[in-house]
Structure 1
Amino acid sequence: MFRHYIAACAAMVISSCSPDNSADTNSDALSTNEAPVKWRMTSTYPSTLLQIGTSGKRISTELNKISNGAIELKFFEPGVLAPPFETFDAVSYGAVEAGWSTPGYWAGKELALQLFASMPFGPSAPEYLAWFDFGGGKEMFEEIYHTHNIHSIVCGLTPPEASGWFKREINTLDDFKGLKIRFFGLGAKVLEEIGAAPQLIAGGEIYQALELGTIDATEFAMPAVDERMGFYEVAKHYYMPGWHQQSTFFELMINLDAWNSLTENQQLLIETACSANIRHAISEGEALQPDALERLVEHGVQIHTWSPEVLAGLEAAWNKVANDMQNQDPNFKRVWQSLQAFRAKYKGWADRGYLKNN
């Protein structure tokens, strides 16, 4: 409700600055002394990558529109300004003003940031947003990032991912032992706990690694994205549900000094554009998956559902990993405990308010 209110307010501000009122626009700009913003945004993902990358490109385009050209956030493909996994440092040091990524990539900087991307057996998109916006998540998120001279804004949110592509069937937890698998974030820690050999590989390198046998399996995203990546050509066993990523946050990272240089109105425009981007990502993401699954079946993919026994084993491993991580890192502990306390309360509502098959 609050997000819709802010969006409506911003829309009224923008409509008053339409091309038909160009004289008013110029006088308003002079009265507020707002200098045009021209920033570079490096991306961890290519702009052609459905949802994950296109949402980054979209925020660039939409922000330019709603600001009437006053805020230019120019999208740069991975590697043009900075390598994909160096986005954090590039933004922190001010080498670029902004970056498009997900907090889950920055475990080497702050373990707790992984909890602001996705988590095994974690919340669905509505619950995740509720905790972030109204359960204390946003305040901790900003506090952690500010210590690294970054102001980050949650700017995208995708639906559940798949568990991954495998060249052979996986029927028990023992089948994971020794498996070389590309895996993301906290889910990789879980697989390591049960004996797999997870590794993080940039998206553009996964197909070749899977094709050449450098890895035996991979997860990456949701069906519509995985289809575009072509994984079905080199692996035919596709597993669900995505126990490791039931929903995933994406972020607009901004150098803190650059953020503080903006006026309150400019900051509000960026936040409003990100709120609209989240809505678009959720609705588009959910709409794309049914047809994608049908096409994958037509390509000869076998879609498997994890057995209750395998899911129970993975969840037990995750609980151990989470406990170990909170014991080793104070930021992880406070974020984890905040999220767990919120989820415990939310469960009382979810169990009563939602049909079980939703």
Structure 2
Amino acid sequence: MKTLKNPIKVAIIAASLTLAAGNAMAEEVTWKMATPWGGGPWLERDAKGFAKNVEDLTGGRIKINVFPGGTLSNPLKVTEAVNRGVVEIGHNWMAYDWGRDRTTALFAGYAGSPTPEGYLMWLYEGGGLELWQEYRDEEFNVVSFPCAIIGTEIFLHSNKKVQTHEDFKGLKLRTSGAWAEIASNLGASTIVMPGAEVYTSLDRGVIDATEWGSPEINKPTGFTDIAKYVVVPGMHQPGGVLECEINKDVWAGLSEEDQQAIATAARLSMYESWSAGANADLSAFKEMTDGDNEIVHLDPDFMATIEEATNKWEDEQAKDNKWFARVLNSLRDFEGQLAVWPEYRFPIGGKQ
């Protein structure tokens, strides 16, 4: 315990160990965790951080070995690997299951998402967590917890200046998921490609622009070295969430104490990823602004157009998908409650 510097974490672990004292003789197990991540903060900080929290909160009874994407399963089929029992647990972005059901985008992050702070409140205070777990259980047969927050993304790293809707039309854009459809409806020429090909394609002009992640995630990619324009804000994904999903048979074999410890570890990891990721984004974006890139802010009229197109896309999906409609209604209801936020709260980052 002497090595722990976070007093909140110390208190949580101490309480967990006290509650689990009666379970001290339980058998120790080691799980394999599949991920889609080849490296970076989502692997090194978030997935491994969750594994460390689980080990701490179970008094070492559950150890999780975290593997990079492609080691144990197809990087885009982590849920399948968990469901089939190839691994006990996965760290995943739910929308990688987009092809099976588009409802996954509502939980994972897309153009209509809340901010990271909005996601946190909706999940833990607005009924989102209950919907999340019921959906994953019913439609994918896994036990799932939100376990990391994704920061607001950079809208584009682009070789062409994009500020207005007219600038966006005809843009050769690398993207995926919901935004691929919405951006196409807005006139972009969208291209889906493996992550390993994006840098070379941007450098050679195969694509004009790419979206990828938040400043922290994007800075090491080198996109700023080959694309002059950094376009903000991330209208295509204001926020997002990663998940930790567990095989149902494995989960059923756990004691109630260890199940509660894992749930607590997931919630703690959400806070830690939000805090560390948001802080890392500050310095990463400052490097972009201090460098040779031109920071471009989207025209407000174009932002309104994106919001309108997103609402239309949402309504179309909800017509024929009961789960999509149910989650969308919950999100919209909660965002309606958040509308009063600017009336009494300062924006994050200042008192202006």
TM-score, normalised with respect to structure 1:
0.88
- Runs (4+) of structure 1 exceeding 3 A deviation are 4-10, 199-205
| Change in CA separation of 1:9 and 1:170 when aligned onto 2, cut-off 3 Å | closer
In the alignment, what sits opposite 1:20? none
Cα separation, 2, equivalents of 1:337 and 1:280:
29
Matches within 5 A, 1:85-164: 85-147=76-138, 148-164=140-156
**1:101 CA displacement:** 1.2
Among 296, 299, 312, the residue aligned to 2:288: 296
Q: Is the 8 A contact 1:178 1:197 kept in 2?
A: yes
2:260 maps to which of 253, 268, 272: 268
Cα contact 1:7–1:272 (8 A) shared by 2: no
Unaligned runs of 5+ in 1: 18-24
Partner of residue 250, structure 2: 258
Matched residue SS, 2:231: strand
Distance 1:170 1:194 in 2: 13
Match of 2:333 among 300, 323, 341: 341
Per mean C-alpha deviation after superposition, the further-off stretch among 296-305 and 200-209 is: 200-209
Equivalent-residue separation in structure 1 for 2:300 and 2:33 (angstroms): 43
Equivalent positions of 1:72-83 (< 5 A) are 72-83=63-74
Q: 1:168 Cα deviation (Å)?
A: 0.8
The separation in 2 between residues aligned to 1:156 and 1:281, in whole angstroms, is 5
- Out of 303, 307, 327, the position equivalent to 1:315 is 307
> Number of matched residues?
342
Query: Would you say the 8 A contact 2:231–2:298 is kept in 1?
Result: yes
Contact 2:34 2:91 in 1 (8 A): yes
Cα deviation per residue 1:181-239 (whole Å; 9 max; x = unaligned)?
A: 22243222220111223244443432223223332211111112211111112211111
Residue 28 (structure 1) shift: 4.1
Which secondary structure state, in structure 2, belongs to the residue aligned with residue 84 of structure 1?
coil
> What is the Cα deviation at residue 9 of structure 1?
5.4
TM-score of the aligned structures, taking structure 2 as reference length: 0.89
Question: 2:277 matched to which residue of 1?
Answer: 285
Listed one character per residue, the Cα deviations across residues 27-71 of structure 1 (whole Å, up to 9, x for unaligned) are: 7423xxx3222211111112x312465311221233223323211
Cα shift readout 1:267-308 (whole Å, capped 9, x = no counterpart)? 111111111211111111221223222322344111111111
State the match for 2:28 in structure 1.
Answer: 36
Amino acid at match of 2:298: W
User: Structure 2 CA distance, aligned partners of 1:270 and 1:108?
Assistant: 29
CA contact (8 A) 1:39 1:98 kept: yes
Mapped pair 1:13 → 2:11: no
CA distance in 1, matches of 2:208, 2:184: 15
Matches of 1:123 and 1:275 in 2, distance apart?
Answer: 18
Fraction of identical pairs, as percent = 28
Residue in 2 that maps onto 1:58: 49
Write the distance in 1 (CA, Å) between the matches of 2:23 and 2:263: 21
TM-fit CA distance, 1:80: 0.7
Cα distance, 1:179 vs. partner? 2.3
Q: Assess if the C-alpha contact under 8 Å between 1:182 and 1:199 holds in 2.
A: yes
1:98–1:261: structure 2 CA closer, same or farther, 3 Å change rule?
same
Q: CA RMSD in A?
A: 2.4
Report the Cα distance in structure 2 between the residues aligned to 1:218 and 1:71, rounded to whole angstroms. Answer: 40
Runs of at least 5 residues in structure 2 that lack an aligned partner in the other structure:
1-6
